[in-house]
Amino acid sequence: MAKKQTTIQDIAKTLSITASTVSRALNDHPKIKKSTKDTVWAKAKELNYQPNTIASSLRKGKAKTVGMIVPRINRHFFSNIITGVESVLNPAGYNLIICQSEEKYDKEINNINTLIANRVSGLLISISLETKNFDHIRRAISNNIAVVMYDRITEELNVSKVENDDISGSYDLTKHLIDEGYKDMMWIGGSRNFNTYRNRFEGYEKALKEIGIDANKYPIFEGSISLEAAYEYFKEYLENNKLPEVVFSASDYMAMGAIMAIQEKGFKIPDDVAISGYSNEPFAALINPKLTTVEQFSKEMGRSTARILLDEMESNKDENIPIKTILRPKLIVRESTINKKKL
Amino acid sequence: MAKKQTTIQDIAKTLSITASTVSRALNDHPKIKKSTKDTVWAKAKELNYQPNTIASSLRKGKAKTVGMIVPRINRHFFSNIITGVESVLNPAGYNLIICQSEEKYDKEINNINTLIANRVSGLLISISLETKNFDHIRRAISNNIAVVMYDRITEELNVSKVENDDISGSYDLTKHLIDEGYKDMMWIGGSRNFNTYRNRFEGYEKALKEIGIDANKYPIFEGSISLEAAYEYFKEYLENNKLPEVVFSASDYMAMGAIMAIQEKGFKIPDDVAISGYSNEPFAALINPKLTTVEQFSKEMGRSTARILLDEMESNKDENIPIKTILRPKLIVRESTINKKKL
DNA sequence: TTGTAAGCGTTATCAG
DNA sequence: CTGATAACGCTTACAA
């Protein structure tokens, strides 16, 4: 065990050439003879040579590594983004260090510190629900790390961003609800301090305004975006209030919590109350009734984000102007919002 | 931008001491005066010093990094394992490079190569469904990387392993089915070349044998572990065959596929046919009827796995004897297997 | 308790 | 087309 790994020096020695030639050969440098390249490659294979990325990174001052901060890895939306990111970054020779903030500001700061310590070339970040100050991200930038924000962004930072067009998504959805003949609505979602939920509310509001309704006259529940929170809220709500015609939930998980509370009370969906979600989590197509929702093409979001980052890492930073990409989500109509009484 | 990062040399110079002292101070070396430690720390903070992990790793020959290979990140089971692993490794100062094999042998080899190139100190791996040869893992071991296998393991490698007790899990489940009065069964699951599915079959077989039934007399479908595969299979199966009393599915996703095909045909669950799953994916509690399944405590699995790895990385490798940890899963009985006709 | 000096494995630069 | 040399930033014997 613990046998020393072979280095380019070892290869050089056995071939009676110098390490620099070996290095160049392995990196396919144009000015190296094909024949020496071949012998070097052969010897490398023979000696089971594994390049030492660490040494190379130290020398180059940058690691071929990207850090990615994700609020939670176990949300399909985010894990698909990761997959999309990998599908671009891996072929380009980068690898990913994934960190979870778990929606905590402190964790996010820690994550950034370790990523800086690892001299990552790039950082992808979707901020936690707690994050209101962005100095940690500024620190990354000033350490010469290319930064791209995805999904949960802030306007306070002048970096490239990839967003979903939440306004259109929820506008389209709300319009569908209106077209189904529903008028008496209710909005539930995460805090509107957050771009995603603020925008989802805005789209909802806009569609209602078009038919002369002020969204703020309807009930609004802003809470933690979990099944449990919505379940508890609805259980209590149903004790004291009558049902709206339709519940617009800005999150599939919250929709699910509401559905469980509603069905537990013996109400039928969509007959007694219709409900829609957002994100198209896998369970949305599996529950009964199947949930109307909005597909966000998360894998594609990951790919776009990674492509932008790649560009910024590989060009000379100083002349990068931040770009903003907005992805258009797609309405997915399912049983939970079909109005059977519609004329 | 691009201002050079401060190094221990910079700190040393401004304080008129040497870099070694700074290094020792920052690492809290016992033989450094408290006062110098304090001044060094203060100056480090002042200059916004960020340690260069890369240089340190190069010098020490090892990175404080662990590589983790996961078949798919977007399965709750695996993403929870990751969270468990992080909860142990991060506080210990390690960070995680997560790689997806996407169930491909070739990808797994690539992953291992980049992890070796990154000189990770440890490797956590759950092998892909395609993996039958383990030389790539042996290569990691011979590169002095501590290896722990989790969930999908092989007996061919003499390393530490953390498994779920799939035999007991499916034995308990099958016994529950028998207790409910079901006898006429059917097994669906992934390939039994695989320890998990082989064991889940074995537990099923064992419970049936106890009541004098040979599991092999009942239908068995071994396929790809996806909703779609099971759905297609069942759609066709229902054309030509009568229903069993109960379907034992060794995967929640496959159970879901079967349920969709069954319900599409107009059959009621559990009245016409009962069905159980395995893994307790979140949707299992959300669908109608709620799915009986087996909880595997994936977060705990991640924690155990990481703890073992940590031990092996931090002790002198040569005297590590591989240990095997077996976690006991828990039966979760829900509506989908309740026999209303039971006396 | 601190300083000196060497070296981890690569690669960039300069020279030939 | 290839060689020699220095340097990336840190740690660690060894010396003082």
CB B23 within 8 A of CB B44: no
> Average pLDDT of chain A?
92
Containing B208, the helix (H) or strand (E) segment is helix B195-210
**Pick among B27, B60, B78, B98 to test the A interface (most A CBs inside 10 A):** B98
Q: Which nucleotides of D are covered by protein (CB under 7 A)?
A: 1-13
> Tens of pLDDT along B240-262?
999 999 999 999 999 999 998 99
Main-chain phi, psi angles of B122, to 5 degrees: -145, 160
Please report which confidence band the pLDDT of residue B24 belongs to, taking 50, 70 and 90 as the band edges.
very high
Average pLDDT over residues A43-61: 91
Least-confidence region, from A114-118, A241-245, B70-74, B218-222: A114-118
> Tens of pLDDT along B119-141?
899 999 999 989 999 999 999 99
Domain ranges of chain A: 63-164+298-327, 166-296+331-337
Q: Which fold has domain A166-296+331-337?
A: Rossmann fold (3.40.50)
DSSP assignment string, B149-202: EESS--TTS-SEEEEE-HHHHHHHHHHHHHHTT--SEEEEES-TTSHHHHHHHH
In the predicted model, is pLDDT for residue A137 greater than 90?
yes
Answer yes or no: do A318 and B74 touch at CB < 8 A.
no
Report how far residue A245's alpha carbon sits from residue A334's, in angstroms, rounded to the nearest whole number.
16
- Angle B172-B175-B181 (CA atoms, 0-180°, nearest 5)? 150
Show the tokens assigned to B21: 């002292």
In the predicted model, is pLDDT for residue A146 greater than 80?
yes
Strand D–CB B23 distance below 7 A = yes
The residue of chain A nearest to residue B282, with distances taken between CA atoms, is A283
Please report which confidence band the pLDDT of residue A62 belongs to, taking 50, 70 and 90 as the band edges.
confident
Nearest nt (C1') from A119 Cα: D9
In the predicted model, is pLDDT for residue A334 greater than 90?
yes
Q: Residue B78 CA to chain centroid, in angstroms?
A: 5
- pLDDT attached to residue B1: 37
Show the tokens assigned to B215: 């599991």
Answer yes or no: do A1 and B98 touch at CB < 8 A.
no
| Greater pLDDT, B194 or A170 | A170
The residue of chain B nearest to residue A141, with distances taken between CA atoms, is B1
Q: Say what the pTM is.
A: 0.85
In the predicted model, is pLDDT for residue A1 greater than 60?
no
- pLDDT attached to residue B318: 62
In the predicted model, is pLDDT for residue A228 greater than 80?
yes
Please report which confidence band the pLDDT of residue A318 belongs to, taking 50, 70 and 90 as the band edges.
low
Please give, rounded to a whole number of angstroms, the shortest distance from the CA of A260 to a CA of chain B.
8
Please report which confidence band the pLDDT of residue A317 belongs to, taking 50, 70 and 90 as the band edges.
low
Pick the closest to residue A45 from B240, B113, B336 (CA basis). B113
Q: Specify the 3-state DSSP secondary structure of A134.
A: coil
Q: Which fold has domain B63-164+298-327?
A: Rossmann fold (3.40.50)
In the predicted model, is pLDDT for residue B201 greater than 70?
yes
Domains A63-164+298-327 and A166-296+331-337 share a fold: yes
Show the tokens assigned to B1: 């931008």
| Greater pLDDT, B320 or B11 | B11
Chain B, window 136-195: residues with a beta carbon less than 8 angstroms from a chain A beta carbon: 139, 142-144
Nearest nt (C1') from B18 Cα: C3
Please give, rounded to a whole number of angstroms, the shortest distance from the CA of A269 to a CA of chain B.
13
> Average pLDDT of chain B?
92
Pick the closest to residue B185 from B203, B168, B165, B198 (CA basis). B203
Residues of A in contact with B99 (CB under 8 A): 95
> Tens of pLDDT along B306-340?
999 999 998 866 667 899 999 999 999 999 999 98
In the predicted model, is pLDDT for residue A3 greater than 60?
no
Average pLDDT over residues A17-27: 92
Report how far residue B216's alpha carbon sits from residue A296's, in angstroms, rounded to the nearest whole number.
45
Among candidates A3, A95, A142 on the partner chain, residue whose Cβ is nearest the Cβ of B97:
A95
In the predicted model, is pLDDT for residue A305 greater than 90?
yes
Report how far residue B113's alpha carbon sits from residue A151's, in angstroms, rounded to the nearest whole number.
32
Percent of chain A topping pLDDT 90? 77
Please report which confidence band the pLDDT of residue B2 belongs to, taking 50, 70 and 90 as the band edges.
very low
Strand D–CB A36 distance below 7 A = yes
Please report which confidence band the pLDDT of residue A122 belongs to, taking 50, 70 and 90 as the band edges.
very high
Cα–Cα distance list, A313 to A22, A62, A339, B173 (Å): 27, 10, 51, 52
